[in-house]
Chain A
Amino acid sequence: MIELDDVAYSYGGGELLSEIKLDLQPGSFHFLTGPSGAGKTTLLKLCYGALVPTSGHARLFGKELRGMVRDDIAVARRRIGVVHQDCQFLDHLTVTENIALPLTVSGRDLLAESANLKELTQWVGLSNRADAKPPELSGGERQRAALARAVIMSPDVILADEPTGNVDWEMSQRLMRLLIELNRMGKTVMIATHDLALIRAAKSHVQARVLRISNRRLQLAGADL
């Protein structure tokens, strides 16, 4: 689905990532870990086409990223749900409108999707906050809304960048349960996090590969994880 083959990425004269090999197979679950500044966000951005590798090959759904025009990338992103630590909402829209944003930009009829939208809002536990504006939400509510927005188009892949970074342990467990549930539905999930306790807790519920970025390279994490 998403494949990085011997990918390197440089910025401002310095190489941030080197010799990256990654193949996200359908239905797989990955954790991506490493210290802050190791390049986890950069790697995720390469996975959803926000960045183009300096060298090597990145393929999104079989298409070479370097050969894709902006519109191709936009279409590919409809198959990839992205959850950011800072959520990235449009603050002038309600929670429901933000969750429905991928449907809106792809020209879907929101009326026809209203049942799906309601069900999803309920699934992430935000039914009573549907008409609130994002700045009125707590950290956990924001993350759940971001997750709902990421999955509204029923994407093949879900990429989450530190989704539990701003929430307490209980909420992070709740978010993890939602992500594991999505994986059980057949979605490919990759979560970038520096929270090793979270990974350890999740591993008892899902068969996950844990990858670590160390010294610009991607490695399979040790048995301690």
Chain B
Amino acid sequence: MRPDLSRIADVLAGDAQADRVVPPTGFTAWLTLFSAAAMAFLAVFALALSLATGRLADRWAGELAHSATVRISAPAGQLAAQTEAALKVLRTTEGVKSARALTDAEQRALLEPWFGPDLPVETLPIPRLVEVVETDEGFDAEGLRLRLAAEAPGAVLDDHTRWRRPLARAAARLRFLGWLSLGLIGGAMAAMITLAANAALAANSQVIGVLRLVGARDDYIARAFVRRFTLRALGGAAVGAGLGALAVLMLPEAQRAGTFLTGLGFRGWHWLWVLAVPVLAGLVAYAATRMAAFKRLREMP
């Protein structure tokens, strides 16, 4: 069903006299308000999850793409020579922008989370790591591996593809699940509002009979119900989205825990999505109540 904006505007503008013709119904009012608020709260989290996984996927892709590592494992006496040989190969490889061996301090920092500070890396048989930055075109990994095997037999090229792919796939799947959750939340809200609207229409069948008796068109009767449910859903969803946003704001900042995690939350203009949640809830309520009302009115004698 395509929402007609002028109709929606009419519904929101309302008619004080028309609003009075349908009696207030406490049970359906609370059901709509509560379900809209709860669904909007969940929607904010699903949205935050989708956006965070999106950022995570981009970050992983950004951090791991265009970079590779060469690990050189060799007896202590040959390590420096093999490192130099590997660097020479790398500097003359097409598609390699830069290559440099990590210093002891940098290697110590990498191992610090596992072994703590003050690790005597100089005395341990730890492989030397060479950081390789690719050009946009990238290099031929297989060709490079063959050349390294010939010049520096202890060098192993890791172009990150092996673990970048599953990470990217996991992030994409999480993002999809987030959007799917949003869809399901919208569907569940539509179902609950439809139920509430049907209950209200059934409870007011006598009112509808009187309105028809005095010449009310079905559109007029439907509008009285649609306006009520749309505004209730809008109000409930605004409260739910507000609480959801507050809860997201109060989440601990994951950035501090590690550079790979971006944290569940909104960044920059993504906060505008929170404002869209009540509006979308209102649209869902409008469409669901309108369909329910017209179906019910058609079925009534």
Contacts and interface: CB of A to CB of B under 8 A. Distances in A.
Contacts of A97: 20
B259 interface: no
Contacts of A70: 217-218
A104 B211 CA distance: 10
Contacts of B219: 71
Contacts of A142: none
A163 to B, nearest CB: 15
A56 interface: no
Nearest to A89: B210
Contact of B209 (A88, A92, A105, A106): A88
Contacts of B268: none
A153 B215 CA distance: 10
A75 interface: yes
Interface string B159-189: 0000000000000000000000000000000
Most A C-beta atoms less than 10 A away, residue of B209, B213, B218 = B213
A71 B215 contact: no
A197 to B, nearest CB: 29
A102 B214 CA distance: 5
Interface residues of B, number: 21
Given A70-B218, A104-B17, A104-B18, A92 B213 contact: no
B210 A77 contact: no
Nearest to B218: A70
A215 to B, nearest CB: 26
A93 interface: yes
A203 to B, nearest CB: 29
A105 B220 contact: yes
B215 A92 contact: no
Contact of A102 (B17, B215, B217): B215
A91 B210 CA distance: 11
B218 A105 contact: no
Interface in A74-109: 74-75, 77-78, 82, 84, 88-93, 97, 101-102, 104-107
A104 B219 CA distance: 14
Contacts of B217: 70-71, 74-75, 105
Contacts of A40: none
Interface in A18-62: 50
A105 B20 contact: no
Secondary structure type dominating chain B contacts: helix
A110 interface: yes
B212 interface: yes
B150 interface: no
Contacts of A91: 23
B21 A93 contact: yes
Nearest to B15: A107
B215 A74 contact: yes
Contacts of B121: none
A77 B23 contact: no
B23 A90 contact: yes
Nearest to A70: B218
Contact of A92 (B23, B211, B216): B23
A91 B213 CA distance: 15
A149 interface: yes
Interface string A63-75: 0000000110011
5 contacts: A50-B301, A90-B210, A93-B21, A101-B214, A104-B21
Interface of B: 17-18, 20-21, 23-24, 206-207, 209-220, 301
Given A74-B217, A78-B215, A101-B211, 18 more contacts: A50-B213, A71-B217, A74-B212, A74-B218, A75-B215, A82-B213, A88-B209, A90-B23, A90-B207, A92-B23, A93-B20, A97-B20, A101-B210, A102-B214, A104-B18, A105-B211, A110-B17, A153-B215
